Amino acid sequence: MRFARLWAALAIVVAPVAAFGGDTPHVTLATPNVSDGAITRFTVRFSDAIVPLGDPRAASP
């Protein structure tokens, strides 16, 4: 369990560095909505418009 937490923390720290690029969108705001001690909604705002995951009308990358 402790090993998994260490990997999760490392991934959180390394992911933004690994994904850094000159023209890529980035997260500008990340906000959890907590109700009765549980996260009911998690909102993420990006710097650019993002295509919804799984949108069949989206163009191929």
For every residue of 5-57, DSSP letters joined together read: HHHHHHHHHHHHHHT--SS---EEEEEEEEETTEEEEEEEEESS--PPTT-TT
- Beta partners for residue 33, in sequence order: 41
Distance CA 27, CA 20 (A): 11
Confidence band (pLDDT; 50, 70, 90) for 8?
confident
Distance CA 7, CA 10 (A): 5
Q: Which residue has the higher pLDDT, 30 or 10?
A: 30
Give SS3 for 59: coil
Confidence band (pLDDT; 50, 70, 90) for 1?
low
Q: pTM of the prediction?
A: 0.42
Q: Which residue has the higher pLDDT, 39 or 4?
A: 39
The residue ranges of every structural domain in the chain are 23-52
Of these ranges, 5-14, 16-25, 34-43, the one predicted with the greatest mean pLDDT is 34-43
